């Protein structure tokens, strides 16, 4: 917005940056180049992995720099006009309270036998809703290579076929690689080939990992 002041193309750029699929990204990037080549020239001065989610190899787990900035803004907005000493003190006590509360929540989840974080459970429940609206095609004896055909359009995506490679932990939609959790296509493949989808979840989503963040005293 500082350089080009174009709200419409800003939305296109955001869609390009947040695209998790190597197939989806060129659609938005091509539109940018077609409408204002100066924008794509400006973008090409930066490494693709620094701003395009599909190219970051899952290092951010789906987080983008803008999201992190907004989180900090939300924490600081109530006392941003304070003198510096009051600012530091308020930040310290708010973080201390947050640390204790999140630690108690994580411990309570562990004590009731929760294996994964609620974030993961909600994602799996959401993705599982679409499993019965897909066809499966298996292409190898080891039952790791599938093409998943979506029979009904899912919000936010075009109806199409997706290749799933379970042994490489890859799916054409890009969500599997970016978030390190099973996407709807991987869940569909697992329901057909019968491997446990839990083996494809990154350890960071396990409650032991979550609790370890808050294990020490603040």
Structure token digits, residue 76: 């600081």
Q: What is the pLDDT of residue 153?
A: 66
Domain assignment present for residue 208? The answer is no
Is the domain of 174 the same as that of 131? yes
* Total domains, the chain: 3
Inter-residue contact 171 to 195 (CB < 8 Å): no
Is the domain of 37 the same as that of 84? no
Domain assignment present for residue 210? The answer is no
pLDDT tens digits for 100-156?
999 999 999 999 999 999 999 999 999 999 888 899 898 888 889 999 998 876 665
pLDDT tens digits for 174-207?
999 999 999 999 999 999 888 899 999 999 999 9
Q: 138 pairs with which residues across the strands?
A: 146
Inter-residue contact 34 to 9 (CB < 8 Å): no
Q: What is the pLDDT of residue 87?
A: 82
pLDDT tens digits for 30-40?
999 999 999 99
Structural domain for 71, as ranges: 65-111
Q: What percent of the chain has pLDDT over 70?
A: 96
Domain assignment present for residue 88? The answer is yes
Domain assignment present for residue 1? The answer is no
For residue 154, the 8-state DSSP code is -
Domain assignment present for residue 85? The answer is yes
**Rounded-to-integer distance, Cα 164 and Cα 62, Å:** 19
Chain-centroid distance of CA 141 in Å reads 31
Q: What is the pLDDT of residue 157?
A: 61
């Amino acid at each position: 917005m500082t350089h080009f002041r174009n709200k419409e193309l800003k939305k296109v750029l955001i869609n390009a940056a947040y695209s998790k699929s190597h197939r989806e990204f060129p659609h938005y990037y091509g539109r940018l180049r077609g409408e204002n080549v100066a924008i794509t020239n400006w973008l090409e001065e930066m490494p693709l992995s620094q701003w395009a989610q599909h190219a970051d190899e899952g290092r951010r787990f789906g987080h983008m720099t803008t999201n992190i900035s907004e989180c900090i803004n939300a924490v600081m907005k109530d006392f941003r006009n304070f003198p510096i000493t009051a600012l530091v003190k308020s930040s310290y006590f708010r973080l201390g309270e947050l640390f204790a509360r999140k630690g108690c929540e994580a411990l309570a989840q562990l004590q009731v036998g929760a294996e994964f974080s609620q974030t993961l459970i909600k994602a799996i429940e959401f993705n599982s809703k679409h499993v019965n609206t897909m066809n499966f095609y298996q292409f190898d004896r080891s039952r790791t290579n599938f093409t998943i055909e979506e029979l009904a359009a899912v919000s936010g995506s075009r109806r199409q076929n997706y290749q799933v490679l379970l042994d490489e932990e890859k799916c054409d939609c890009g969500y599997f690689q970016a978030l390190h959790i099973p996407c709807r296509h991987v869940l569909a493949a697992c329901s057909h080939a019968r491997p446990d989808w839990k083996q494809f979840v990154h350890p960071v989503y396990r409650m032991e990992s979550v609790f370890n963040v808050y294990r020490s005293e603040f």
